[in-house]
Amino acid sequence: MRRSLLYLYLLLLIPPLSYAALSCIADATSIVLSEQGTLISGVIIFTVIIISIAYLLGSFTGNPAFTVFAKDEAYHLGFSIALLISFSMIILFSCSAVDMFFKTTFEKIGAGSSSCYESGENMTTTALCFLDDAKSDAQRLSERYIAENIHYMMWSTYTVSINIPLLNTLSASTGAYKRVVASQYDTVLNTFVFPALLSLRIQELFLGFVSENVIRWLLPIAFLFRIFIPTRQMGNILIALSIGLYLIVPFMYAFNFAMYEVIGNEECDQFRTAIEDNHFGGCWNQNSFWAVARLIPQAFFLPNLTIAILIAFLTGANKALRVIG
């Protein structure tokens, strides 16, 4: 069974027919070895010594437990080395498949004419572009709502006074009702817009960090743990996490934020009665409730969906690595 799985794995290492997956790193193996090559080599040598000692003990003592242990660890070590050497091909193969699905999906949802997506564009760049657009919208809304809140608060204090000499002074706050409008702007701003702006900014920083550093820093540590016997399972998890962060997360972000751009004012018309407001405007007002509502899924709900899919991928990939080697 293991031999069959190993042959299947080797077939997957065959380079894909097209290297157009622009979001891939062409030589991930060299990056891993350049960062932690000395430590990885040291762990491999240490593991070979342990395997040799175990095999010799099994041969001299006749205890099959030492021999079985040595053969099992030799298999795991060989698989780890093959995985390390071939990791560039794994990244290219996986990224080509995800990139093809990414482009097909964008054509299906009508995002082909998007300002953030052009033919051949990679997932991370597209996702960061969409994130920046949504963040700019949230920042524009927050600035506008702050200005409107201050404007209505100032006019809510407008008072007219009539002084009748020797009798009395009559005063009337003619703009007091505007305090309610100011409070409405303040509530929407602090409850939805500000948290959405902060969430989008944090997501932008996270995605940028992942795209630049996961292959350079996380993968070398993953392979280091994968080769070392006591931490092999942790290495499997980190390898799965590296692939998930590098491929699955950018795709999910690009797909989620494409919906933000595709769902425009036309979709708002069917909710016109709930959206229209005397002060915030209607569907075609860029500062309306609809503009706020479009931000909420991107800032709070869809990131949780991405995390759920990433966890499912980690579970499956970790089980696959445990079964194969």
pTM as predicted: 0.73
- Residue 42 CA to residue 287 CA, distance in Å, equals 60
Mean pLDDT of the chain: 78
SS3 call for 171: strand
pLDDT band at 309 (very low <50, low <70, confident <90, very high): very high
Partners of residue 236 on adjacent β-strands: none
pLDDT band at 138 (very low <50, low <70, confident <90, very high): very high
- Residue 194 CA to residue 295 CA, distance in Å, equals 11
Tally of CB atoms within 10 A around 183: 14
Q: What is the pLDDT of residues 258-286, one digit of tens each?
A: 778 777 666 777 878 888 888 888 888 88
Arithmetic mean of pLDDT, 177-190: 89
Joined together, the tokens standing for residue 134 give 């949504």
pLDDT band at 130 (very low <50, low <70, confident <90, very high): confident
Q: What is the pLDDT of residues 205-239, one digit of tens each?
A: 998 888 777 777 787 788 778 777 788 888 888 88
Quick one: what percent of the chain has pLDDT higher than 70? 77
pLDDT at 21 over 50: no
Q: What is the pLDDT of residue 311?
A: 92
- DSSP assignment of 18-64: ----TTS-TTHHHHHHHHHHHHHHHHHHHHHHHHHHHHHHHHHH--H
- Residue 172 CA to residue 227 CA, distance in Å, equals 81
- Residue 3 CA to residue 79 CA, distance in Å, equals 11
Arithmetic mean of pLDDT, 7-12: 40
Q: Between 231 and 20, whose confidence is greater?
A: 231
Cα–Cα distances in angstroms (integers) from residue 139 to residues 14, 189, 225, 279, in the given order: 47, 11, 43, 19
Show the CA angle centred on residue 189, arms to residues 188 and 194, nearest 5°: 130
Arithmetic mean of pLDDT, 118-139: 82
Arithmetic mean of pLDDT, 170-193: 84
